[in-house]
Amino acid sequence: MEMHEVYKAAIERSAYAYAYYRIELDAEDKPEDYVYLDVNAAFERLTGFPRSQVVGRRVSEVLPHLREDDFDWIAVYGAVALGAKEREFERFIPARGRWYRIHVFSPERLYFVTTFQDITAQKAAEESLLEQAIALSERVKEMRLLIRFSRLAQEDGIGLDELLARTAALIPEAFQRPSLTVARIRLRGMEYSSEDSSLSPGGAGGDKLALTASCSINEGIRVFGEFCGEINVSLAAWRPADGELAFLPEEESILAMLALSIARFIEKAETEAERKRSEDRFRRYVDDAPDGIFVVDNDGRYREVNPAACAMLGYSQAELLGLSIPQILAPSSAETGLSAFAALKEHGKDSRELELLAKDGRILTVGLSSVALTDGRFMSFCKDISDRIRAEEKLELYYRAINALDQAVVITDADGRILELNWAFARLYGYGLDEAIGQTPRVLNPGRDVYRNLGYSDDDYDTLFEGMWKAMKDPKRGTWEGVVINKRKDGALVWAKLHLNAVYDGSGNVQYLIGLPFDISESRKREQIDKIELYSTIASLAELRDSETGNHMRRVGILAKLLAKNLGMPEKYCDDIEVFAPMHDIGKVGIMDSILLAERKLTPEEWAEMQKHTVLGYNIVKGKKELDMVAAITLRHHERFDGSGYPGGLAGEAIPFSARITAIIDVYDALRSERPYKRAWTHAAAVSEIRAFSGTHFDPRIVACFLTLETSFASIYDELS
């Protein structure tokens, strides 16, 4: 096998995308475009462009939007083609969503070569790219026409004109009616015909017979994908009988194969000069390839190696060419390596990972992709993947460590799809490991309604999650911490303190999210219980001053919750008002006993002093966000719907809703209770009184709800009297 064939095979089978170009200059000798002259299979796969759609075409035709890129490809490549030093640079290609390392050099003026390496995952190709050989169809080797054409094409010194003329003469013999068959090959303005004087009535001499237009078939000739001619076969002076075919399907197939063979001959002829010129180019590519390239004979002895192979193993070229495969295999891969070579000889290709022994004793883990060459030798592409293997081992160690943690951990992609999670996370939320992979953490979100029912406003909900994602998208922050409400698979709610961290790519875009949820449900329940106990203690301060009001406050809490619930308020609101409504009179701790405990009607001055308990209570609890409802109730539960109440004379919707509810409950319970200065009212009388003051003292909507619940009010009052 000739060296240039070895180099060509190396290019075609390379894991790197390769392309060869010619720069085009404008009138001022400045680069304005470039033309694809050759590409390899890796280029086709990487770009998605078949060779036939790019070779011979300008880049402005293949990539019409190229000039819109902020990177001036034509200027950079043009500079190298006109003599600048070779360059290597990395670019992110948005259309592919990948990063590539691009190497460009010029073998001669006006020409340049690029190689592309996908460096997104830092992985080399693990199997060789086999040349997709374009061969003549051999479905029916006995077809004499194709065989004879093949022999003609192989004759030394035969030119295209002679080949097509002789081929046109051969075509009729391949058809079922050779004496009536006329073949013409038209190519780029030239015509080659089989027609001669034998086609006449009765034999030689005479006029040529007219062709029957309906008895004709054509097959286009496409060279490098472009139409440039056709083969036409016609029958002269022939009329088909019923059901008789002018041409057999096999004949049409032969014609198609012949057109393809002619196209391949033309392509081969037109590229031969370029093939010869490319030998140095291929040699340089192999020599400059960053990965090791080896050629061994059938006995496993090294016959060709490139500089990268020598550098990888620490040998000189002369030293390495004196070795065989077993001599560079690490002991751990001795058996596997020999098995790989046996498989290569049997199957013609092989890919696997092995450990090699360098000259200095280092052990290298490599990815080896090998193919059989046509001369009985074998070519291997060798990539040092030691760093990748070590990285994978570290990742495995990290993964085991994460799974051993009691702390829940979840890792998602930028769209929130779960990529990894540990057992602690699975246990916390009740999902299996495989069940959760591919889901998004949104399955843990119980939804806006649940948040609203637990006391969050819509603004609170939006602020919570918008703040979370805003922090994640900002590389300057990249972390977020807050309390969220999650939902287990079984529907149970989990209060979680969530630590969220973002991992960004080189462009500052979110690549991964790492979540660490801490279950604080129990501590939150304990906190709520502690708060309730505290608030109850505060409320009991008023009881200590006036024993007659103790049951009054307990009833107020229960009745306020009942009324709030039937008014459609969220669950948390109802729980809160049950705790906070009994605190409505805590300001009475600041009222003198002579007034608070008086068993008579108060004087105007004493009544004015008594009214101060609303402001006193407000001053006790104001400024504490968790006591906002208490503050509203203590200050406003004596306001009236028509504005005639105290201390501020507020009216209608200006009075806090919680205070409007408490006002009705307070009055109902006070009317039903006996005081030193009055007798207890009956339930019916109390209800009648509240109905009478609907719209003046009380909110009509709340009164209407109260009236639907009056039976429950009576029962609760009686039970807690």
CA dihedral 574, 580, 581, 585 (to 10 degrees): 180
The CATH number given to whatever domain includes residue 206 is 3.30.450.40
Answer whether residue 393 is part of any domain.
Answer: no
Query: What does the alpha-carbon distance between residue 582 and residue 540 come to, in Å, rounded to a whole number?
Result: 9
Whether 335 is covered by a domain: the verdict is yes
Q: Are 579 and 694 in the same domain?
A: yes
CATH of the domain at 626: 1.10.3210.10
Stretch (H or E) spanning 232: strand 226-236
Residues of the chain with pLDDT under 70: 1-4, 6-7, 95-96, 121-143, 196-214, 237-244, 273-275, 278-280, 282, 395, 397-399, 401-405, 453, 455, 524-550
Question: Which residues span the domain enclosing 512?
Answer: 405-519
Rounded-to-integer distance, Cα 427 and Cα 97, Å: 36
Tell me the pTM: 0.37
For residue 502, what is the enclosing H or E element? strand 493-504
- The count of domains in the chain is 5
pLDDT for 534 equals 54
Q: Is residue 7 within 8 Å of 36, Cβ to Cβ? A: no
Task: Report yes or no: 259 and 220 within 8 Å, Cβ to Cβ.
Answer: yes
579 and 685 part of one domain = yes
Looking at the structure, tell me whether residues 330 and 344 fall in a common domain. Answer: yes
Listed residue (314, 334, 332) closest to 324, CA to CA:
334
Statement to judge: residues 307 and 261 lie in one domain: no
Please check whether residue 672 is in contact with residue 683, taking contact to mean a CB–CB distance below 8 angstroms. yes
Question: Residue 586 has what pLDDT?
Answer: 84
110 and 224 assigned to the same domain: no
Q: In what order do the strands lie in the sheet with 363-372?
A: 302-305, 292-296, 378-384, 363-372, 349-357
At 127 the pLDDT is 34
Residues 297 and 433 in one domain: no
Do 524 and 532 form a contact (C-beta atoms < 8 A)? no
- What is the DSSP pairing of strand 181-187 with strand 111-118? unpaired
User: Is 683 in contact with 717 (CB distance < 8 Å)?
Assistant: yes
pLDDT of 647: 95
Q: What share of the chain is helix, strand, coil (3-state, %, to 5)?
A: 45, 20, 30
Instruction: Output the pLDDT for position 644.
Output: 94
Give the position of tokens 């994602």. 469
Q: Is the dihedral of CA 475, 480, 485, 488 positive or negative?
A: positive
Residues 369 and 250 in one domain: no
Q: Report yes or no on 137 lying in a domain.
A: no
CATH number of the domain encompassing residue 78: 3.30.450.20
Are residues 298 and 249 both part of a single domain? Answer: no
- Do the domain assignments include residue 135? no
